[in-house]
Amino acid sequence: MKCVSPPNDDTFKPTAMSKNGHSNAGFVSDHADTVQKPMGKTYSLELAEKGGSNNSSTSKNKAIVAKDPDYNPYQHRDVEHPTTNSETLFHLLKGSLGTGILAMPNAFRNSGYITGSIGTIVIGFICTYCIHQLVKAEFELCRRKKIPSMNYPAVAETALGEGPGFFRACAPYIGTVVNTFLLIYQLGTCCVYVVFVASNIKAIVDAVGDTNIDVRLCMIIILLPLILINWVRNLKYLAPFSTLANAITMVSFGIICYYIFREPVSTEGKDAFGKPENFPLFFGTVLFALEAIGVILPLENEMKTPQKFGGNCGVLNVSMVLIVFLYVGMGLFGYLNYGNAVLGSITLNMPEHELLSQCVKGMLAFAIYITHGLACYVAIDITWNDYVGKRLGPQRNKLLWEYAVRTILVLMTFLLAVAIPNLELFISLFGALCLSALGLAFPALIQICTHWYETKGLRKAWLLLSNFVLIIVGILGLVIGTYTSLKEIVLTFSE
């Protein structure tokens, strides 16, 4: 799911993403604290290419890398409000608590409780490894270019420019490709938000009114306020909504745990191993829930001690261990409690006519709803600042065009949600389609290109072998996961 110095109109270039950017459609994986307070200098590719007199240059056959061993990007970062290690850890954790974790029991329904537990841990390990590689590549490329930091598209473009001839030819286009995947993912996250909110409102209304209203009617009711929320141009006005949503979320998760454990859980009648054809749906859901690739670089770039982000006991490893633990726990016990009847969000399985259950559904629907503007902000930022706004240039009606773009993007997500109001398939689709590339394949490709001319012998063989495996896994996850999700969508709405 983008932090750079904000222009005068209070918008900025894309570097920080919502987790959902995490995640995972976490409430603020594009958390307001990070996006609201952009760091002093996060460089895009245009500035990276002007890094210094010793920038890497290319010859006909080889990229000649000129490095200054004395240049440390960490020492040259000008961050207005740097975050501590504990603050960064908290941002990563709170970004994981969203629609993704609520869908984990459904993911375990597709995989079985043993396969799901092991699979979530393995996928979490792979995601963590890829994030480490991306952060290390950014540091190395910043040192070569003599600039403090880069965003994700700039890292990809600069890395391919340092690689072998074929990849150097692709370098001018990879930034746009990365931005496209980020944009699709963020719009997909907004679709998930709309379906989640409408589904929980429908559950409340059906229980209270003893009726069965169409979920699409709930979507129409929430549309106009949704558009108005996304007309807010300055993130500082959205930050209080993030704080409120996080408080509501913590309380709601406590109540959900009460419902899961108030009766003894049992493995009786539950599948230990799911059907192989359903595993791509599990894979896509877990990726959507776990992957925080869009928010990683902005968080690391804004740290007071960024060197503490990596390492065996660094911020990233500690946060990912806790996140994987939470996700395995929610998925495992949620599935063991509700079995094959579990729905796309565990809130929809909670008792229909209990007041406490209705409160949880309403609270989480409200929390997701008020942070929709934060999730969509990244998509608006990429679309407007990188493409539409640049093409329009300076003109009198530019502000009006910006509001039109904001409205169109909200309507696009709304129409897609109306067309396919299926929460679990949405989550699986966008997890497989976007995060297989952003979280697995692209970091591996960046790692290969960054160190192509620096490694030899066994080191180069390991560089190629390990990263090609990740690229293949990413491509297979993208193709098979997307195909399976689309097939299930077609089957669901043809019945």
Q: Is pLDDT of 425 > 90? A: no
Question: Cα(471)–Cα(219) distance, rounded to whole angstroms?
Answer: 38
- How confident is the model at residue 236, as a pLDDT? 75
**Is 56 a domain residue?**
no
Q: What is the pLDDT of residues 118-172, one digit of tens each?
A: 999 999 999 999 999 999 999 999 999 999 988 899 999 999 999 998 899 999 9
Question: Cα(294)–Cα(303) distance, rounded to whole angstroms?
Answer: 16
* Most confident of the following: 243-247, 349-353, 363-367, 396-400: 363-367
C-alpha to C-alpha distances, 453 to 30, 88, 212, 469, nearest whole angstrom = 35, 34, 63, 20
Helix residue ranges, H only, 210-292: 215-229, 239-261, 279-290
Q: What is the pLDDT of residues 38-57, one digit of tens each?
A: 333 445 555 444 444 333 33
**Is 5 a domain residue?**
no
To 10 degrees, what angle do helices 279-290 and 113-145 make?
50
Q: Is pLDDT of 192 > 70? A: yes
pLDDT band, very low/low/confident/very high, at 436 (cuts 50, 70, 90): very high
**Is 307 a domain residue?**
yes
pLDDT band, very low/low/confident/very high, at 69 (cuts 50, 70, 90): low
- How confident is the model at residue 215, as a pLDDT? 92
Percent share of the chain, pLDDT over 90: 48
Q: Which distant-in-sequence residues (6+ apart) come within 8 Å of 99 by Cβ?
A: 24, 25, 26, 192, 193, 196, 345, 368, 423, 427
Residues paired with residue 57 on neighbouring β-strands, in sequence order: 64
Question: Cα(102)–Cα(217) distance, rounded to whole angstroms?
Answer: 23
The answer to whether the Cα torsion of 239, 429, 281, 361 is positive or negative is positive
- How confident is the model at residue 52, as a pLDDT? 41
Q: Are 123 and 287 in contact (CB under 8 A)?
A: yes
Report DSSP state, residue 310. S
Question: Cα(484)–Cα(187) distance, rounded to whole angstroms?
Answer: 20
**Is 53 a domain residue?**
no
Report DSSP state, residue 349. G
C-alpha to C-alpha distances, 465 to 166, 280, 469, nearest whole angstrom = 19, 24, 6
C-alpha to C-alpha distances, 219 to 27, 193, 344, 420, nearest whole angstrom = 19, 11, 17, 12
pLDDT band, very low/low/confident/very high, at 3 (cuts 50, 70, 90): very low
Q: Is pLDDT of 74 > 80? A: yes
Residues paired with residue 63 on neighbouring β-strands, in sequence order: 58
Structural domain count of the chain = 1
- Residue 400: φ, ψ to 5°: -65, -40
133-142 burial: b if 16+ Cβ within 10 Å, else e: bbbbbbbbbb
pLDDT band, very low/low/confident/very high, at 491 (cuts 50, 70, 90): confident
The mean pLDDT of the chain is 83
Q: What's the average model confidence in pLDDT over 287-312? A: 82
**SS3 (DSSP) at 64:** strand
Q: What's the average model confidence in pLDDT over 437-461? A: 93
- The answer to which of 123-127, 193-197, 453-457, 491-495 has the lowest mean pLDDT is 491-495
Q: Are 481 and 278 in contact (CB under 8 A)?
A: no
Top pLDDT among 21 and 404 is at 404
Top pLDDT among 8 and 307 is at 307
- How confident is the model at residue 149, as a pLDDT? 87
Range of the domain at 127: 82-494
- The answer to which of 8-17, 251-260, 357-366 has the lowest mean pLDDT is 8-17
Residues paired with residue 64 on neighbouring β-strands, in sequence order: 57
Q: Is pLDDT of 31 > 70? A: no
Q: Which two tokens stand for residue 223?
A: 């549309």
**Is 444 a domain residue?**
yes
Burial of 427 (C-beta count, 10 Å sphere; 0-12/13-18/19+): buried
- Residue 357: φ, ψ to 5°: -65, -45
C-alpha to C-alpha distances, 148 to 16, 35, 45, 151, nearest whole angstrom = 16, 18, 12, 11
To 10 degrees, what angle do helices 85-96 and 293-301 make?
160
Give the CATH number of the domain where residue 123 resides: 1.20.1740
Question: Cα(109)–Cα(281) distance, rounded to whole angstroms?
Answer: 10
Other CB atoms closer than 10 Å to residue 60's CB: what's the count?
5
Top pLDDT among 64 and 368 is at 368
Q: What is the pLDDT of residues 105-120, one digit of tens each?
A: 999 999 999 999 999 9
Q: Is pLDDT of 27 > 50? A: no
Q: Is pLDDT of 416 > 70? A: yes
Q: Which two tokens stand for residue 455?
A: 């490694």
pLDDT band, very low/low/confident/very high, at 68 (cuts 50, 70, 90): low
Q: What's the average model confidence in pLDDT over 377-397? A: 82
Q: What's the average model confidence in pLDDT over 267-286? A: 92
- The answer to which of 34-38, 71-75, 325-329 has the lowest mean pLDDT is 34-38
- Residue 268: φ, ψ to 5°: -65, 130
Q: What is the pLDDT of residues 316-365, one digit of tens each?
A: 999 999 999 999 999 999 999 999 999 989 999 999 889 999 999 999 99
Tokens 């897609």 -> residue: 416
- How confident is the model at residue 62, as a pLDDT? 45
pLDDT band, very low/low/confident/very high, at 445 (cuts 50, 70, 90): very high
**Is 28 a domain residue?**
no
Tokens 């995972």 -> residue: 24
To 10 degrees, what angle do helices 113-145 and 315-338 make?
160
Question: Cα(21)–Cα(378) distance, rounded to whole angstroms?
Answer: 8
**Is 43 a domain residue?**
no
**Is 20 a domain residue?**
no
Burial of 232 (C-beta count, 10 Å sphere; 0-12/13-18/19+): middle
- How confident is the model at residue 240, as a pLDDT? 83
